[in-house]
Structure 1
Amino acid sequence: MSLTLHLNYASPFCRTVVFVTKQLDIQFREVVIDLVAKQQLKPEFLKLNPRHLVPVLVDESNGLVISESRAIVRYLCNKYAADSPLYPRNPVIRALVDEVLDFDLGTLAPALKAIRATKFFGGGTPTDQQLKTLNDNLRVLDEKVAKNGGYAATGHLTIADLSIATQLLTVEEDDLKDFPNVKHWYSETLAKELGTVYREINGKGSEAVKQRLDRIRGK
C-alpha cells in the first residue's frame, strides 16, 4: 500500500479526503494524529508538514508529501481517476469546480472556522459580525446550489461538494433555515448519493469532535 494518510476525523478537511478515497475506491494506510496530545508537534510529523496541520498524504510510490485537503483530492483524482466526474477533465466544468473550491478556501471555510473556534473551542457566543460573514457566504452557496442543479459547482457530485459538506457537520440545522437549497443539498441530496459512507464518516467526525472537546474541557 503506497499511500499513507495522516489525519484526525475531527478535522473536516481530513474527512473530505476520506470521502474522496471512498468514492474512488482508493486504499490507504491510516495514521491518526492525536491533536489534543499535540502529536502534530512531534519532530517526525513536522518533517512532513512544518505547519503542523492535518491532513498530510504521503505517496511512497513517488516520494510525494502533500498537505492541504483540496490539493490532496485533486492529486488523487488526477492520478487514480483522471476520467472521474468528481473532477472532470472538461476545462469548463473543471474551472467551475475549481472556482467553488477557491470560494470555499478563501471565504466560506474561514467563516465557518471562526464560528467553530468561538462556539466550540472558545466556549463563547459568535459575534454579530461572525454570523453575518457566515450567512453572507451561505447565501452565496445557496445561490450556487440553486443555479447548478442541486450541487455546489455543476449538475452532479464533485470534489467541491465534498470539500464544503464536511465543514457543515457542526452547523446547527436551524442555522440553515434561511438557505433551503443548502439544507436540502446537505441533508438529503448528499446523504442519498453517498449512502452509508456519508453516515459512517460523519459519525466518525461527530464522535471525534465530541471526544476532542471533552478532553479540552477536562471532562
Structure 2
Amino acid sequence: MRLAVLHPRAKPVSRAYFVAGTDTEIGKTTIAAGLLHAARCAGLSTAAAKPVASGCEMTAAGLRNSDALALLGECNLALAYEEVNPLAFAPAIAPHLAAREAGVTLSVEALRGPVQAILAKGADFTLVEGAGGWRVPLAGQATLSDLPISLGLPVILVVGVRLGCINHALLSAEAILRDGLQLAGWVANVVDAETSRLDDNLASLAERLPAPCLGRVPRLAQATPAAVAAYLDLRPLGVTA
C-alpha cells in the first residue's frame, strides 16, 4: 500500500530542496553534486548549503569538509565556503556530539539563518544537504529534520541501495510525509553492486515510494558529478534542458 501524501505545513520554496538520506554513507553528496551538475547543464543557476558537517580537515583557510567542497564546486553562484558550510567540526562523529565537544549549541535557529541566506541568493536550483538520516539529533530534543520543516522545503530522498534499503526508504518517506513535507522525488544510489535481486529491489522501491524516481545510479568507478548526472532526470521537478 502506498503512503498517503500530506499537505506541507509551509509553502515550499521554488526549486529549492532538502536532500535527505536513508542512512549515513549512502552517497547523499555524490547524488546532490550530480543533481546540481544536471541543473547547471540545463542552464540553471545553482547554489547549495551543507549547514553542519563533521569529519572536517584543518587547512590554511580553516576547517574544510570534503562534502561541502564538492557541493560548492557545483555552484555557479559566487559563494564563500563559510556560506555553504557555516558549522564545521573536526571529529568524524555524529554532528550533535561534535558540536557538544566544541562547546557549540547545535540548534535549528543556528542553522536556519545561514540556509535562509543561501535561499535568498535566488538561484534557480538550490539544494540543502542534511547529515546522516532524517532523524539526526541536534541539541536537546530537536533533530535535523526540524530544519526543512521550519523552512517548508520539499525533500529529495537518496536511497542507498543495499540489503535492508526498502525498509529504510519506506520508513524515511513515512516520517517525511508525517512531518508535513512534500517528498519531491527519490534517487536510487547503488552502494552495494552485489545486492541480491537488485532489479527486484529497485522495482519494489518504485512501487512503494510515493514520489517519482529521479534516477538509478549504478556503482561507478569514478562517481564524478558529470558521471552521476548522466543517470539523473530532473524533469519530474519541472527542470528541462
TM-score, scaled relative to structure 1:
0.36
Of Structure 1 and Structure 2, the greater helix share is in: 1
> Which structure has more strand as a fraction of its residues?
2
1 or 2 for the larger relative contact order (CA 8 Å, sep ≥6)? Answer: 2
